[in-house]
Amino acid sequence: MRRVVATCTAAALLLPVFAYAFPFGGRASVVLPCYYNSTIYVVLGPPIGGPYVWTTTTKTYKFGYPTHAGQWLLGLAGAPYYCLYSVAPEITYDAVAIIMMGSSQ
């Protein structure tokens, strides 16, 4: 019984941690369309850069999805995701899925 209570308590405390989105933003240095899984792989510079993936479920504001290097992106990101760039040879890029974003022109 103690084991069940301990497991439920741990799950209740840790589960919300995995549901949080975190902010990101920066200037795009790489923008790759991934046609095989309908995503766009983006690498951002500072202030909060890194690899991100725009998906078809991303809430996108006024100027649309990332289209070229040099654009500024700002938004919220969440779960790990991937970009399937090529099938033969298989080339995938791991990144974080963008939940919502706005961009410059």
CA dihedral in degrees (65, 78, 82, 57; nearest 10)? -50
Domain ranges of the chain: 19-103
pLDDT in tens, 29-82: 999 999 999 999 999 999 999 999 999 999 999 899 999 999 999 999 999 999
For domain 19-103, which architecture applies? Beta Barrel (2.40)
Q: For residue 52, what are the contacts with CB-CB under 8 A and spacing of at least 6?
A: 24, 41, 42, 43, 44, 73, 77, 95, 96, 97, 98
On whether the CB atoms of residues 93 and 83 are closer than 8 A, the answer is: yes
Is it the case that residue 90 has pLDDT exceeding 80?
A: yes
Q: What is the pTM of this model?
A: 0.80
**Partners of residue 41 on adjacent β-strands:** 32, 53
> Which of the four pLDDT bands, split at 50, 70 and 90, describes residue 20?
confident
